[in-house]
Amino acid sequence: MLLLLFLVTAYYCHGLPVNSPIAQSVENHISGGVSGKPNLDEDKLNKLLSDQEISSNVDFLSNRPGGKLEFPMFLRKSVEDYEKDAAVVLQQSFQDAEVTPGLFQGDIAGFSPEAYRLWRVGLRWDVFPERKWDNATVPYYISDKYSPTEKQIIQTAVHTLGLLTCVKFVPYEGNKTTDYLLIWPVTRPAGCWSFIGRLGGQQVLSLQQPDKTGPKCLGGPGKPMHEIMHALGIFHEQSRADRDAFVKFNEENAIQAFVHNFDKQSLENTTYQYEYDYNSIMHYGTHFFSSSRDKPTLVPIQKRAKIGQRDGISRLDCYKINVLYNCFDTPQNKAKYEAFCDILGI
């Protein structure tokens, strides 16, 4: 265990090259040495993604045929023109890449009525156990459209989550009956976004590539980790029912068409095992959906507290994933993963 902890610390803190002996040893620990490339027509896939229109209603995915591309239908308000105007404001302003018009809370795709009920009850996964990844195993494939440097950033995010938890991220081998995560630079809609939990079949997670305006989703492993945590089943921290005791929501500073993105979960249905986490990588920043650079939408009540960091998962983020996927199933595993979270969590 001490050797593994040393390897984890070295990789997490220093970003060892993927092809180094130590990093390769760590990667084998995560993936079990599984390798392979899916048999996908990536040009066709990209065209399907590019041609996809954003839905003007709440008509969500109903089919899950193995191997067929399934693309999210995005939640939109019924007053379509008003939403389009607000979307233009967002697209032309200073918004974070995690803020995408038409997506629930800016970066959550495919938010069906079922998913909304799941969100309402927070971390009570006993209500929807099928949305967790079977055997804590997530097959994944990173698009070749990413550059080697961009792939390295994404791999660092994947490896970090695999090292700090019992979740196993394994390369997708092309089996059409396998549920897997397809990490892809979707252009319509662009941005950083994900589904919540496992959907079944091919599941898209979008990470926008850098452009002339900035790094977008790939300035470091933080934003990829945020979206992968959504795919694992973790919600935004500021959605908690007890949020108002910890942060002040300045509704007047938000773009009014997007105020609903600050809705809280249902108090009577939600249970929280851990205290509110200002440090969470799943927390909004101070200016998400803000109408102006000088108008914060969320302000921490605790003095000197900061929100919105994307440097790495917090200690409590780490605990939540381990609890969700039953990583504390034995005293030995509990001691091991708690140590990883305590030492390496932000």
Q: Which residues share a beta bridge with 168?
A: 137
More confident residue, 191 or 44: 191
pLDDT of 205 = 95
Is pLDDT above 70 for 58?
A: no
Q: What is the mean pLDDT of residues 72-88?
A: 48
Q: Which of 13-17, 119-123, 124-128 has the lowest mean pLDDT?
A: 13-17
Query: What is the domain extent for residue 11?
Result: 2-344
Return binding residues: 226, 230, 236
Task: Count how many domains the chain has.
Answer: 1
Q: Supply the pLDDT for residue 63.
A: 31
Residue of higher predicted confidence among 55 and 345:
345
Question: Is the pLDDT reported for residue 311 higher than 80?
Answer: yes
Residues 6+ apart with CB under 8 A from 82: 257
The Cα-based distances of 330 to 3, 333, 334, 336 in angstroms read 20, 5, 6, 10
From 150, 227, 275, 338, the catalytic residue:
227
85 pLDDT tier (thresholds 50, 70, 90): low
pLDDT at 299 over 70: yes
Cβ 183 vs Cβ 205: under 8 Å:
yes
User: Tokens at residue 70, please?
Assistant: 């399934």
150 is catalytic: no
Pairing state between β 137-142 and 180-184: parallel
Q: How confident is the model at residue 140 (pLDDT cuts 50, 70, 90)?
A: very high
Residues 323-329, mean pLDDT to the nearest whole number: 94
Which parts are annotated binding residues for Zn(2+)?
Answer: 226, 230, 236
Confidence of residue 252 (pLDDT cuts 50, 70, 90): very high
Q: What is the pLDDT of residues 230-249, one digit of tens each?
A: 999 998 999 988 999 999 99
For the domain that residue 162 is a member of, what is the CATH number? 3.40.390.10
Q: Is the pLDDT reported for residue 126 higher than 80?
A: no
Reply yes or no on whether the pLDDT at 288 is more than 90. yes
What is the rounded distance in angstroms from the CA atom of residue 212 to the CA atom of residue 204?
Answer: 25
Q: What is the pLDDT of residue 88?
A: 62
Residue whose structure tokens are 């500073």:
253
Q: Residue 80: is its pLDDT beyond 90? A: no
Helices (H), the chain: 2-14, 21-31, 42-51, 80-91, 113-120, 148-164, 222-232, 315-324, 331-344
Do residues 181 and 139 lie in contact, with contact meaning Cβ atoms separated by under 8 Å?
yes
Joined tokens for residue 129: 């156990």
Q: Which of 32-46, 181-195, 270-284 has the lowest mean pLDDT?
A: 32-46
Q: How confident is the model at residue 61 (pLDDT cuts 50, 70, 90)?
A: very low
DSSP 58-99: --------TTS---PPPP--S-HHHHHHHHHHHHTTT--TT-
Q: Which helix (H) or strand (E) holds 183?
A: strand 180-184
Q: What is the mean pLDDT of residues 105-110?
A: 87
